Structure 1
Amino acid sequence: MTTATTTRRGLFVAPFDALADPRVVGDLAAEAEAAGWDGFFVWDHLQYGDRVSEIADPWTCCAAVAMRTERLLFGPMVTPLARRRPQVLARQASSLAVLSGGRFVLGLGLGDDWVGEFSAFGDEPDPRTRGRMLDEGLDVLRGLLSGEAVDHVGDHHVARGVRFRPAPVVPIWLAGRFGNRPPLRRAARHDGFFVIGLDGPDDLDAVTADLAEHDPAPGFEVVVDLRPDQDPRDWTGRGASWVLTRIGPFDLDLAAVRRIVAAGP
């Protein structure tokens, strides 16, 4: 398998409570860029249980990051495509790519209904059905982002004879839990795999071996996230092209977050 060879470091930020203000998120992204981080990715949730009371919209946060930085890669990590309309998402993604000069990454996944992210709003709660919606939505989304004509009538989405411009490059990373093979296979057809739930760096060997069976494209990204107290050196050189430091989700203190950001990668 050919993957990106340099391990880059980013932040994986929950815009919750003390960080539930896009202006604060924009400030943190500017501070992260100054401290030498390579990426800044925000969680996409509508609710997160009783311990989180305030949540910011990730798309507004992404616009703030785009305007406050010049070098960082950024994006939502991850957006459940099954609760989105691919045509609206395509417009948002392409606009953020243009706004940032090509630094936007679109993280997508199945999503989880453990706190009613779907069922509380009348969205599809069944993960198998959401998986089919995700696959079909990806086909429509990639077609629209390509700038080519799209003519699709499916079980979940319709796009009849449409073409979207502008069509900047928008990398798509798919998320999935370690050991769950369908998300890995899905990710291998796109630009990266954000693998969740690794027990240790040795698990990366299994991930990269499984990915190699599906022959992802050159430059394919393998992305992991760690707690701030985990040593990223244990993970670099083990097949991960991105190692993210997780900020959140609970009991966020802005001063403590700023110290992590200022410390750099």
Structure 2
Amino acid sequence: MTPLRSALWLPIFEELADPAAVARLAAEAEEAGWHGVFVWDHLRWREPVRRVADPWITLAAIAAATRRVRFGPMVTPLARRRPPKVARETATLDRLGDGRLTLGVGLGSDRFAGEWSATGEELDDRRRGGMLDESLEILTAAWSGGPVRHHGRHYTVDGVSFLPRPVQRPGVPVWTAGLPGNVRPLRRAARHDGFFPVNLEHPDELAEAVATLAGLREGRTSPYDIAVALPPGADPGPYADAGATWWLAEFAPHTVSLDRVRGVLRDGPADSGRPGTG
């Protein structure tokens, strides 16, 4: 069985809207034996949250402050981002972190804070799904180092090369988010490097998704990750038994604070024998 790795999964709101403060947390987490630090990607959140940080600037600060932990947005809704810009950002960020970036992606949703409708973004799930898939095609081609020639329904990139390439080969690992019982996100996840199930209620749901992914990925031998978000104090063991390779310690967005995160990270990662309870 693959050892379960542990990461902090941080809503970068209020006290955590300071990139320097989050970078210090990431350095402390690395020292305490954690394996990753991932951040939310939102433009705004529901009241009483008012202060929100940019994930990419925050991730650059994390990359510069650490040497071993993996980091990345978990997840970024690619449908509201221009793929060529993301290609440049991810390659540069992976080089800054010496090959430690993981790109979490998903459809996003307007239901959390109305941020999509408030900024005129695409609201149709099916259309956003097409934009997500095209974006991933462009990113995969861009990370290869060769000229990207993409003429799709949503995006055009005509003969542009994105150098220097990321440190990681063949490119930055991509984890895709989705409901575990929905076949389309599982098919998307099977084409990439990991799956991040959302609204997971029981280990049996995860085991079923893992079995489906194994069938979809039959014949492929590349490493594959399954990340589950659970609150500090929860037992990730049953999820590890069901196939999880990462535990992401989740924090409530309305109450997250530097002290709360620091208490959890000091309790140590799950593989220390006692998941954080701070």
The TM-score bracket by the shorter chain reads: over 0.9
Secondary structure at 2:185 match in 1: helix
**1:184 positional shift:** 1.0
Residue 68 of structure 1 corresponds to 65
1:113 counterpart = 2:110: yes
Secondary structure at 2:242 match in 1: coil
Letter in 1 for 2:121: D
Match of 1:222 among 199, 223, 226: 226
Q: Retained in 2: the 8 A contact 1:107–1:172?
A: yes
Q: In the TM superposition, what are the counterparts of 1:37-48 in structure 2 within 5 Å? A: 37-48=34-45
Residue 146 of structure 2 corresponds to 148
1:35 counterpart = 2:29: no
TM-score by length of 1: 0.95
Q: Retained in 2: the 8 A contact 1:7–1:237?
A: no
Secondary structure at 1:128 match in 2: helix
Q: Retained in 1: the 8 A contact 2:30–2:68?
A: yes
CA distance in 2, matches of 1:213, 1:85: 32
CA distance in 1, matches of 2:161, 2:214: 34
Match of 1:163 among 140, 161, 164: 161
Residue 190 of structure 1 corresponds to 192
Match of 2:201 among 199, 202, 210: 199
CA distance in 2, matches of 1:154, 1:203: 35
CA distance in 1, matches of 2:234, 2:49: 24
**1:160 positional shift:** 0.4
Q: Retained in 2: the 8 A contact 1:38–1:72?
A: yes
Q: Retained in 1: the 8 A contact 2:181–2:205?
A: no
Letter in 2 for 1:11: L
Residue 122 of structure 2 corresponds to 124
Q: After superposition, what is the alpha-carbon deviation per residue over 1:230-263, rounded to whole angstroms, capped at 9, x for unaligned? A: 1223322320011111123112232122111111
Residue 89 of structure 2 corresponds to 92
Q: Retained in 2: the 8 A contact 1:65–1:74?
A: yes
Q: Name the structure, 1 or 2, with higher relative contact order (CA <8 Å, separation 6+).
A: 1
Q: Retained in 2: the 8 A contact 1:44–1:76?
A: yes
Residue 209 of structure 1 corresponds to 211
Please provide the CA RMSD for this pair: 1.3
Q: Retained in 1: the 8 A contact 2:210–2:242?
A: no
Q: After superposition, what is the alpha-carbon deviation per residue over 1:8-60, rounded to whole angstroms, capped at 9, x for unaligned? A: 11111110112111011101101100111001000000111123111111001
**1:134 positional shift:** 0.8
Letter in 1 for 2:127: T
Residue 77 of structure 1 corresponds to 74
Residue 59 of structure 1 corresponds to 56
1:242 counterpart = 2:246: yes
How many pairs are equivalent? 262
**1:181 positional shift:** 1.6
Letter in 2 for 1:248: A
Give the fraction of aligned pairs with identical amino acids, expressed as a percent.
49
**1:188 positional shift:** 0.5
Flag structure 2 segments of 5+ consecutive residues without an equivalent: 270-278
**1:183 positional shift:** 0.9
**1:207 positional shift:** 1.0
Q: Retained in 2: the 8 A contact 1:30–1:68?
A: yes
Letter in 1 for 2:13: F
CA distance in 1, matches of 2:238, 2:152: 45
CA distance in 2, matches of 1:105, 1:70: 15
Letter in 2 for 1:37: W
Flag structure 1 segments of 5+ consecutive residues without an equivalent: none
CA distance in 2, matches of 1:152, 1:205: 36
Q: Retained in 1: the 8 A contact 2:69–2:100?
A: yes
**1:205 positional shift:** 1.2
Letter in 2 for 1:28: L
**1:5 positional shift:** 2.2
Secondary structure at 1:26 match in 2: helix
Residue 11 of structure 2 corresponds to 14
